Each structure stands twice: as C-alpha cells, then as structure tokens.
C-alpha cells in the first residue's frame, strides 16, 4: 500500500509560517456542478473531479501538519436534489471510502463520520462503520467526513440529549456549560476550526459547523472545488496567516 512521502516544498517560499498552521481546517467543497457545466459536461463528472481534488487536499493537509480536516460531503439539505444526483453522490462517497480506506489507514489517517448515519443507505452506513472502526486507533490526520450533516440538526440533537439528561436527573440545568454542550456535538473532542474555506465564490456557511465556526476565519476562494489544488491550499493558509484574530477582544498592537 502506498505510504505517502512528505512533500518537500519549501513552505517559507510560499509565505507559509509552518509554526502557525491551523490545527483544524474545515472545507465547503462547492462548485462541482458549475465546474462541469462550464465545460459542457454532466454534473456527475464534476463530482468525480471533486473526489480527485479531495485526494490532493488530504495529502496537502497532511504535509502541512494540519491535525483535523473536516470536509462537507453531503448536507441534510442535499436530499432535495434530483434523485439521480443524490444516487450519484451516495455511490461516489461509498466508492471513495471503500477505495481510499487502505491507503488512508496505511498513512495513519483516522476517519470520523459526522452526521446522521441512520438515514444513509445501508451500504454507505456499512462502509462508514468499517472505515471508522479500522482507523480508530490511528494517530495522524483526523479526516472528518460530514455526511448527512447539518449544523441546526446537530444543535437540536445536543439539546434533546441534554434535556433528557436533565429530565432523568443525570444533569442539573446549572451544569450545562459550553463544554457539556460540545460533548454532545458530532465534533466531540475536536478543537474548533480556526479556518473555514469555501470554494466557488459563494459567501455563506450553508448550515456547516454553526456552533463550531463561531470564531473561525472564513476564506472564500473563487475557484470551483475541482480546481482547488495544493497551490490553492497554500495560498489559503497564507491568507489565513495574515488575519488578526481578536475573538471579540482588541488587537495587541
């Protein structure tokens, strides 16, 4: 199985400060359909090209030393698409997880699925379970695949679970802190993303990581997702590193 050789780019030449790499990068991989349409191709080809881009970005993130990479693969709202497109996305996801599993595992990547598994097709549910189980002890890059994920439904899920604990006397309402709340999110145990990237020029979160992205820096790039490559990733990180993160406070200088 192919073991990745760390790429030897000189990051300093690309304006990357290797000591200030975000720990958690989250990506809204948007624009597969438009990429294909612009080329006069079916949307399915755009999604396939999106998988290729994902491969490159997983490797690039690993090379940069990013610890958590969260990708928005399918939202709770994506079920509204025509059935044929939903079918294509589901089988691509299934194929990606099954085909990449051995290589990701060989490279110490830990695969985590964020989202409501119960509503996924059985074969995809099974592929997700196998991938999570096989890689659960890996200590390298954590690849969070947000699949049938929605920020609002994630928050509702947490509220319901906490309400039940209060009702059953396990928890007192006064004990509900941000930490308690976060322990009921799909991202339990992950730090907040310092950086959320969206491709294809659209400027919205689309129900992605609504709680977790409260203080994330957001970078919007014009390229459609299939065109987002290693070079684009480095530019995005360099852009992020120029930001002044104040978290509601004031800048030191």
The catalytic residues are 30, 78
Rg (CA), the chain: 19
Which tokens is 250 given?
A: 């004031």
78 versus 232: smaller Cβ distance to ligand FPP: 78
Position 127 contacts ligand FPP (CB under 6 A) = no
Closest distance between ligand FPP and the C-beta of residue 147, in Å?
Answer: 8
Position 92 contacts ligand FPP (CB under 6 A) = yes
Q: Binding marks (x or -) toward ligand FPP, 133..172, rule CB under 6 A?
A: ------------x---------------------------
Only one of the segments 24-32, 123-131, 171-179, 184-192 lies at the binding site for ligand FPP (rule: CB under 6 A); that segment is: 24-32
148 versus 162: smaller Cβ distance to ligand FPP: 148
Instruction: Judge residue 182's burial from the number of C-beta atoms within 10 Å of its C-beta, 0-12 exposed, 13-18 middle, 19 or more buried.
Output: middle
54 versus 158: smaller Cβ distance to ligand FPP: 54
Instruction: Judge residue 184's burial from the number of C-beta atoms within 10 Å of its C-beta, 0-12 exposed, 13-18 middle, 19 or more buried.
Output: middle
Minimal CA–CA distance to 100: which of 122, 71, 79, 75? 71
The Cα–Cα gap between 52 and 56 comes to: 7
Which tokens is 154 given?
A: 């994630």
Q: Which of residues 186-225 bind ligand FPP (CB under 6 A)?
A: 225
């Amino acid at each position: 199985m192919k073991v990745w050789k760390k790429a030897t780019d000189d990051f300093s030449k690309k304006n990357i400060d290797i000591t200030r790499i975000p720990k958690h990068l989250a990506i809204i991989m948007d624009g597969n359909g438009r990429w294909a349409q612009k080329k006069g191709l079916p949307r399915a080809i755009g999604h396939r090209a999106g998988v290729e881009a994902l491969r490159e970005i997983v490797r690039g993130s690993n090379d940069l030393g990013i610890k958590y990479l969260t990708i928005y693969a399918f939202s709770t709202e994506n079920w509204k698409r025509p059935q044929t497109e939903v079918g294509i996305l589901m089988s691509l996801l299934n194929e990606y997880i099954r085909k990449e599993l051995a290589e990701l595992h060989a490279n110490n990547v830990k695969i985590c699925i964020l989202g409501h598994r119960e509503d996924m097709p059985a074969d995809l549910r099974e592929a997700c379970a196998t991938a999570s189980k096989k890689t659960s002890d890996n200590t390298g890059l954590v690849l969070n695949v947000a699949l049938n994920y929605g920020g609002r439904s994630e928050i509702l899920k947490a509220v319901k679970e906490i309400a039940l604990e209060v009702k059953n006397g396990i928890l007192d309402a006064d004990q509900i802190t941000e930490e308690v709340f976060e322990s009921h999110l799909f991202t339990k145990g992950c730090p907040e993303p310092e950086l959320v990237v969206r491709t294809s020029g659209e400027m919205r979160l689309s129900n992605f990581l609504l709680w977790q992205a409260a203080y994330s820096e957001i970078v919007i790039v014009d390229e459609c997702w299939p065109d987002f490559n290693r070079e684009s990733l480095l530019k995005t990180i360099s852009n992020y590193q120029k930001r002044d993160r104040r978290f509601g406070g004031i800048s030191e200088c």
